[in-house]
Amino acid sequence: MADELFFLIASDSHRHPTALIQVWKRQIRTPDALLFLGDGLSDLFAFSAEFPYVTIYAVSGNCDFHRLLPDGSLAPEERCHRLGGLSVWMTHGHRFGVKGGTGALVREAERERADIVLYGHTHIQNEFRLQRQDGGSVWLCNPGSIGDDGSFATLTIRDGVPLIGLGKL
């Protein structure tokens, strides 16, 4: 049997915790964790009240004035995790000027040697793959805004190979 992990990716809930709860409930399979990319950290408290067993990896965004997470820790502005054998770098994106393009984000991804970069801030859902200067590749994904239009993304990692899906409520 293949080694497989499944993650729900959301960003920019902006005081709409019910959207996070609804999209979690609508997944065909229960995700292994929620990857939250900022601007709505306070919404994670309502989410955690509904799903207290769920692992949440989160970063803070430019609208997150209180960076406290439901587990009592503080959300960093960026974080990198090893998930399913891949390096997954998470940021909200505002510090990298993503509304004007992804150039600075891609340069930072190369420095981080990330396999996958997850970012928010623009409220525009997308995913694409780029070649790194070292010959490797990096996947970039913005799940859009779960609070604005119900957009989200999923990440499946099967035997070290990523598959990103885009969705809307």
pTM of the model: 0.96
Percentage above 70 pLDDT, the chain: 99
Q: Report residue 23: phi and psi, to 5°.
A: -65, -35
Q: Which CATH class is domain 4-168?
A: alpha beta
Please report which confidence band the pLDDT of residue 134 belongs to, taking 50, 70 and 90 as the band edges: confident
The dihedral region occupied by 144, where left means phi > 0, alpha psi between -120 and 50, and beta the remainder, is left
* 154 within 8 A of 6, measured Cβ to Cβ: yes
Round to whole Å and give the CA distance between 158 and 141. 18
Domain ranges of the chain: 4-168
pLDDT at 156 over 50: yes
133 pLDDT above the threshold of 50: yes
d(CA 92, CA 119): 5
pLDDT tens digits along 110-120: 888 899 999 99
* Rg (the chain; Cα; Å): 15
74-95, pLDDT tens digit by residue? 999 999 999 999 999 999 999 9
φ and ψ at residue 115, rounded to 5 degrees: -85, -35
pLDDT value of residue 1: 42
